[in-house]
């Protein structure tokens, strides 16, 4: 028996639901793809005429939206109709770390997943394949299955309503989401019923080669997603720990990365030292793994993974302390230009961005921050920093130092450079690689510093600019060039 999918509903129109469903719609014109969300504002933004107003920025996304929206890709708040008529429902809602109750600070909060399962149970009208797209703790499928099974039993037409639950974790990275979805390293499908698994595999087979589609059991699929993120984050903490040793010893982390990356067993990717990993998932997924390990009494395993997060926190604060130290031990009343607030380039996402902790530390020390980012707006920064922007800073010609511990949004990098004591690069946006450092230097108060936390400035770029230059993991870059 083969189940042919004609209509898909995705619950959750976020950083995963939006791009994932857009790529499915683009590659499967015969399937009607309906993305639903309880957040009206977000759905309005997805339906916006002006494609610059889409709720998330992702290279290549707006072109797909232009091609498919209104044809076989729809965004709406109507959960009832779209769930009821779907053959397959993806659950793609947020799963943040719990803030209270049992497991607070580590376990995932599954209330949105449970609510989604209950909505499916309530509105489904026929056999429905339910797909976990959200990242979930091991054995969550069991919970979803229990909720759906009780709905099956309660229903008047229980001969027609039935469910299969599959796990299909998403491995896309923000900023490269469309490419990752178009050409995935693998698509993982975990489940029990081979017919349901094949139905989902057939959707992907429209554009993904068969040898990249891995079928497995549901628990291994759930655990594989947490493990992949834990391994990736662990690499970043590892290389950032080496960066600190490099700075102490005069070695260069870029050279160390190059040397170890040529070993096929290690590989060259994910070895860039930076200001610490951010993003909505690495920390939350590792903490989830920590919680799971402790739950099963595996305390050494829990400690091992928790150290990856601890090192990351330490590393972020290490950078802010270092900036203060280089600026003669105080940044009170000093103007510092922050370049980049997103957690990485090519996204407008700031969740868990290292910029948040580093900026907060500097504000606590009394610095005046001019923050620039090409895609993040001032409102978002205010939410993340927990303090309002002081726009009058932009027009002040002098006495800026009276505003210690305040910040404003710099509309251009030049606005940030003027009379500043330091420039701190926190996100590797392409436009920051083209800065003319001699011109920037002329605008700054001397002695002036550039802190390159992303290793995007070369020695040639900055040579002769009369700027003090510090680069992450570079033991030789502490003096005037
Ligand atoms: P997000 O917060 O951007 O989006 C989630 C959306 O779900 C929100 O718009 C919210 O309003 C909606 N929602 C919540 N409950 C709902 C309900 N009951 N009915 C309808 N809509 C509801 O989250 P995200 O970044 O897209 O992440 C979603 C999941 O995917 C998480 O589990 C995350 O770990 C995982 N994931 C994220 C990424 C990423 O790059 N962001 C990558 C892989 C996996
Ligand atoms: C990450 C994973 O790469 C995805 O496979 C996964 O699907 C996703 O998490 C998720 O589950 O949410 P993402 O967080 O979007 O994707 O972005 P990454 O490219 O992994 O970067 C994460 C953080 O690590 C960023 O702050 C980035 O700047 C930092 N990073 C990355 C480094 O500091 N150095 C590197 O070499 C690579």
Judged by DSSP in three states, 166 sits in strand
- Joined together, the tokens standing for residue 384 give 């993340």
Taking the C-alpha atoms of residue 104 and residue 304, their distance in angstroms, rounded to an integer, is 19
Helix axes 299-326, 354-364, angle to 10 degrees: 50
112 within ligand 1 shell (Cβ under 6 A) = yes
Residue 480 clears pLDDT 60, i.e. is over it: no
Instruction: Assign 404 to helix, strand or coil.
Output: coil
Q: What is the mean pLDDT of residues 89-101?
A: 95
Supply 72's token pair.
């076989």
Q: What are phi and psi of 294, to 5 degrees?
A: -65, -40
In tens, the pLDDT along 345-368 reads: 999 999 999 999 999 999 999 999
Cα 56 to chain center, whole Å? 12
String of DSSP letters for 93-154: ---PBP-SSTTTTTSB--HHHHHHHHHHHHH--SEEEEEE-S---TTHHHHHHHHHHHHHHH
Please determine, for residue 446, whether its predicted confidence score (pLDDT) is greater than 80: yes
Q: What is the pLDDT of residues 366-390, one digit of tens each?
A: 999 999 999 999 999 999 999 999 9
Report the pLDDT value the prediction gives residue 190, as an integer from 0 to 100. Answer: 97
pLDDT at 345: 97
Residue 481 above 50 pLDDT?
A: no
Three-state DSSP string of 171-237: CCCCCCHHHHHHCCCCEEEECCCHHHHHHHHHHHCCCCCHHHEEEECHHHHHHHHHHHHHHHHHHHH
Supply the pLDDT for residue 112.
96
Three-state secondary structure call for residue 92: coil
- How far is the centre of ligand 1, averaged over its atoms, from the C-alpha of 47 (Å)? 18
From 168, 279, 341, 373, the mutation candidate for ligand 2 (largest count of ligand atoms within 8 A of CB) is 279
Task: Indicate if the pLDDT at residue 91 is higher than 80.
Answer: yes
Average pLDDT, the chain: 95
288 lines ligand 2 (CB under 6 A): no
Query: For residues 92 and 135, what is the distance between their CA atoms, to the nearest angstrom?
Result: 8
Name the catalytic one among 98, 106, 133, 225: 225
Residue 158 pLDDT class (50, 70, 90 cuts): low
Count Cα atoms within 13 angstroms, Cβ side, for 288: 28
Ligand 1 atom with the shortest distance to the CA of 285: 34
pLDDT in the model for residue 245: 97
Tens of pLDDT, residues 292-340: 999 999 999 999 999 999 999 999 999 999 999 999 999 999 999 999 9
Ligand 1 pocket: which of 137, 230, 280 to mutate (most atoms within 8 A of CB): 280
Predicted confidence at residue 403, as pLDDT, reads 86
* Partners of 399 in the β-ladder: none
Is 326 a residue of the active site? no
Query: What pairing do the DSSP bridges indicate for beta strands 213-216 and 407-409?
Result: unpaired
Query: What pLDDT, in 10s, does the model give residues 392-412?
Result: 998 887 677 778 999 999 999
User: Do residues 6 and 39 make contact, with C-beta atoms less than 8 angstroms apart?
Assistant: no
pLDDT of residue 395: 85
What pLDDT score was predicted for residue 479? 47
Pairwise CA distance, residues 83 & 125, whole Å: 8
What stretch of H or E contains 88? strand 88-91
281 is catalytic: yes
Q: In sequence order, which residues have a C-beta less than 8 Å from that of residue 283 and are 6 or more positions away?
A: 97, 233, 277, 309, 312, 352
Distance in Å, CA 277 to ligand 2 centroid: 7
- The residue behind tokens 């709720």 is 55
**pLDDT band at 157, cuts 50/70/90?**
low
């Amino acid at each position: 028996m083969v189940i042919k999918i004609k209509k898909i509903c995705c619950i959750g129109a976020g950083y995963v639901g939006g791009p994932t469903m857009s790529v499915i719609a683009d590659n499967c014109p015969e399937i009607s793809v309906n993305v639903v969300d309880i957040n009206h504002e977000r759905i309005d933004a997805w339906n916006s005429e002006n494609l610059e107003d889409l709720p998330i920025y992702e290279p290549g996304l707006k072109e797909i939206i232009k091609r498919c929206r209104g044809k076989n890709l729809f965004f709406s708040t109507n959960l009832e109709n779209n769930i009821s008529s779907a053959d397959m429902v993806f659950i793609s809602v947020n799963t943040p770390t719990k803030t209270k109750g049992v497991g607070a600070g580590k376990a995932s909060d599954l209330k949105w997943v449970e609510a989604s399962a209950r909505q499916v149970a309530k509105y489904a009208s026929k056999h429905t394949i339910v797909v976990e797209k959200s990242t979930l703790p091991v054995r969550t499928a069991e919970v979803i299955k229990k909720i759906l099974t009780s709905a099956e039993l309660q229903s008047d037409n229980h001969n027609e309503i039935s469910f299969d639950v599959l796990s299909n974790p998403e491995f896309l990275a923000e900023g490269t989401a469309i490419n990752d979805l178009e050409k995935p390293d693998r698509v993982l499908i975990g489940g029990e019923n081979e017919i349901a698994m094949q139905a989902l595999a057939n959707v992907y087979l429209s554009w993904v080669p068969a040898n990249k589609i891995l079928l497995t059991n549901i628990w291994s699929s759930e655990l594989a997603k947490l493990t992949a993120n834990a391994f990736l984050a662990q690499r970043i903490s590892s290389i950032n720990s080496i960066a600190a040793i490099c700075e102490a010893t005069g070695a260069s982390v870029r050279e160390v990365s190059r040397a170890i990356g040529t070993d096929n067993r290690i590989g060259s990717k994910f070895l860039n030292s930076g200001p610490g990993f951010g993003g909505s998932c690495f920390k939350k997924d590792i903490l989830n793994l920590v919680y799971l390990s402790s739950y099963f009494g595996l305390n050494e395993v829990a400690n091992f993974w928790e150290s990856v997060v601890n090192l990351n926190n330490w590393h972020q604060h290490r950078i802010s302390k270092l900036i203060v130290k280089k600026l003669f031990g105080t940044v009170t009343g000093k103007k510092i230009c922050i370049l980049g607030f997103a957690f990485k380039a090519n996204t407008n996402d700031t969740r868990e961005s290292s910029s948040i902790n580093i900026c907060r530390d500097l504000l606590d020390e009394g610095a005046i921050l001019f923050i620039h980012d090409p895609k993040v707006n001032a409102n978002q920064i205010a939410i993340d920093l927990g303090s309002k922007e002081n726009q009058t800073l932009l027009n002040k010609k002098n006495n800026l130092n009276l505003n210690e511990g305040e910040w404003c949004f710099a509309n251009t990098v030049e606005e940030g450079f003027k009379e500043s004591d330091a420039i701190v690069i926190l996100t590797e946006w392409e436009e920051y690689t083209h800065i003319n450092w001699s011109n920037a230097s002329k605008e700054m108060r001397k002695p002036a510093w550039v802190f390159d936390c992303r290793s995007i400035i070369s020695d040639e770029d900055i040579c002769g600019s009369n700027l003090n230059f510090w680069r992450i993991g570079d033991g030789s870059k502490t003096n005037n060039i």
